[in-house]
Structure 1
Amino acid sequence: MAKLYFRYSAMNAGKSTAMLQVAHNYEEQGQSVKLYTAAIDNRYGGGKVTSRLGPQRNAEVFDASFDFLKEVPKVSCVLIDEAQFLSSAQVKQLHQLAQVKGVPVICYGLRSDFMGEPFEGAAYLLALADDIEELKNICSCGKKATMNIRVGADGKRVTSGEQIDIGGNERYKHVCGRCFYSS
């Protein structure tokens, strides 16, 4: 039975690396996969799933108007990077893809934003995913990192602003709950 999977973590835990490995494993067995990433995330160029370790791969992009039920071809597995940017309707489409069409769907993304608020896609994945897994990361204090904070050009924490502001290590830090509330 195919499932909808949600693999989440704070930033910098290796979600994209894990996704690229899963794609490789399927293809090594002669099976076809389709990779998708959010159109809004163009840090490494549009339509690229990129690990900070170096590996990267082309992917299809999704935006708010993308319909997974209509657009996904017949494949062995669908892999979604930056899944926090999915809409509730898209998460429901992916759930249907797994439950009705029998295609495993594995989503990788953040659970919450820099203010500790859930992303829409993540909230619906937490509600509908058949299997949920946290990928671990470590805060600078040594505890498990579960949250993200945004920092300004001065290195100080930013506590307000738009939910989405694409960036990497220069804009975000992964922290534990204690450091999230004390910084």
Structure 2
Amino acid sequence: MAKLYFRYGAMNSGKSIEVLRTAHNYEEQGKRVLLFTPAIDDRYGVGAVTSRIGIQKEAVVITASLDMYKLAERERPNCILVDEAQFLNETQVKALCDIVDELNIPVIAYGLRADFRGKLFEGSYHLLALADKIEEVKTVCWSCQRKATMNMRCKDGVPVFEGEQIMIGGNESYLPVCRKCYSQARKKAKAAGGE
């Protein structure tokens, strides 16, 4: 019986490399994988899942007009993998549920749980509510040795706590930090008048 998995983690926790590793494992066994990535994530070009360590694989671009269910029904892969799933909308998450429930194809969605303010992304909200299994991809805080659970946005190396929810970026824009280090940086910014 197929399941919908949501594997979330802070920035730089290795989610994209896990997507690529999982795809490789299926394909090495002669199984077919359908790989999706949202159009909004263009850090390394549209239509590619790319890890910070330099491994890349082409993916189907999720746009507002893409019918993921029909594509899955036509292609009949052994597994569907979704990178940057936090950028999905409710309709797209429900399409993943239908793929699992009606086509009996397992779906593994990887993404951030929350933004740089600690607020859930739309896709993450619906995946947390609807996934059969939720798993954390762990990483270490940039500032200490605790587990990173927050994504701290930085501008010119300085933490910022206001702005648009979505700003595509990597290590130059975001750091994985624990809640304590995040809170300390936020208090420091507030005291300095930066929030």
Contact preservation (8 Å) 1:7, 1:106: yes
Alpha-carbon deviation of 1:18?
0.7
Q: Deviations over 1:21-50 (max 9, x none)?
A: 110111111110011111111111111101
The alignment-based identity, stated in percent, is: 57
TM-score, normalised via structure 2 length: 0.91
Question: Aligned letter for 1:11?
Answer: M
Q: Distance in 2 between matches of 1:12 and 1:63?
A: 25
**Partner in structure 1 of residue 94 of structure 2:** 92
1:108 and 2:117 matched: no
Q: Distance in 2 between matches of 1:101 and 1:27?
A: 20
- Structure index of larger Rg: 2
What residue ranges of structure 1 are gaps of 5+ in the alignment?
none
Q: Deviations over 1:108-163 (max 9, x none)?
A: 0000000000000001000100011001100021100001011112x111111110
Q: How many residues align?
A: 182
TM-score, normalised via structure 1 length: 0.97
Question: Aligned letter for 2:78?
Answer: S
**Partner in structure 1 of residue 31 of structure 2:** 31
Runs of 4+ in 1 over 2 A off after TM superposition: 63-67, 70-73
Contact preservation (8 Å) 1:39, 1:63: yes
Q: 1:144 aligns with which of 134, 144, 147?
A: 147
Q: Distance in 1 between matches of 2:182 and 2:66?
A: 34
What residue ranges of structure 2 are gaps of 5+ in the alignment?
186-195
**Partner in structure 1 of residue 163 of structure 2:** 161
Q: Distance in 2 between matches of 1:95 and 1:126?
A: 12
